Amino acid sequence: MPKFINIAKSAGFCYGVKTAVETVKKIKAQNTDKEIFILGAIIHNSQVITELEKLGIHTVEKLPENAQNAICIIRTHGETPENIQKIRNLGFEIVDLTCPDVKKVQLKGVNLAKNGYFVIIIGKDNHPEVVAIKANIQQYSQNVAVVNSEQDIENIKEILKNNTKIGVVIQTTQPMNNVQPIISRLMDFSKELKIENTICSSTKNRQKEAVELAHQSDLMIVIGSKESANTTHLAHLCKEITNTIHIESQNEINIYMDLIKNSNTVSITAGASTPKELIENVLITIEKEK
């Protein structure tokens, strides 16, 4: 078994996720007579969604048509203005729990659009955070595109050549090593390039610590949902440095036990939507094998 097991200090819930989950529980406790709905997963973690469901907080992809005495929670990733209006029209009381850092990206993107910039969003185009950012910008301008690689820029280079002002906002969970080559390529097209570095500080710190631990470890264990952007980015960063496994819970540990046993130093980190209990359960499961 490993001689050393390190746990990243930054592993687990970031402040935005922690606040959102605690607030949802508080809203339900204060409104026992009302139905509580979240449109889409509040965070990318199935254990948390299950826990909330047991409390009577329903995660849905489509809201019921007739809302009477019901609350709809806007999840941490944010929502499109069109969907917010639809929720309001259905009669729901709305509680907006969009992460403050995501709100900042939306506002900075809108300000760039208002000031005549062609807005580039660096991120995954189908991620709910990016979908909401883009929709907010499109209220003011259709001059917006989502890119996640240098190839994506090549696909719109003719459009970029016709825009002397390019503004950039970044999905909060993007890794810097993905952002930098995109920014470098954009400099070839723009006479005026304005970059809003909107990667949240929690993401930066988590990625920095994971890289440092990976350099010191024979094996990295990254805990969190496979649907979580920030968790998958962590796993990708670590895989470039050392042996890395990405698991969602302690239930997957047995698959990798031989690898764990043959590693001298194992380090554990986790995504921003991973509860502390999951991290503790993984550690307990590994130590039971000693």
CA dist 7 and 278 (Å) reads 12
Instruction: Report how far apart, in Å, the C-alpha atoms of 166 and of each of 71, 121, 148, 198, 258 are.
Output: 39, 11, 16, 16, 51
DSSP track, 26-38: HHHHH-TTSEEEE
Q: For residue 277, report the phi and psi dihedrals to the nearest 5 degrees.
A: -60, -35
Q: Give me the amino acid identity at 75.
A: R
CA dist 26 and 20 (Å) reads 10
- Report CA dihedral (41, 244, 265, 218) to the nearest 10 degrees: -160
Burial 226-253 (b: 16+ CB within 10 A, else e): eebbbbbbbbebbeebbbbbbbbbbeeb
3-state secondary structure of 145: strand
Note if 22 is an active site residue: no
Strands (E), 75-195: 93-96, 118-122, 144-147, 165-170, 192-195
User: Active site residue: 35, 129, 227, 252, which one?
Assistant: 129
Q: Which residues are catalytic?
A: 129
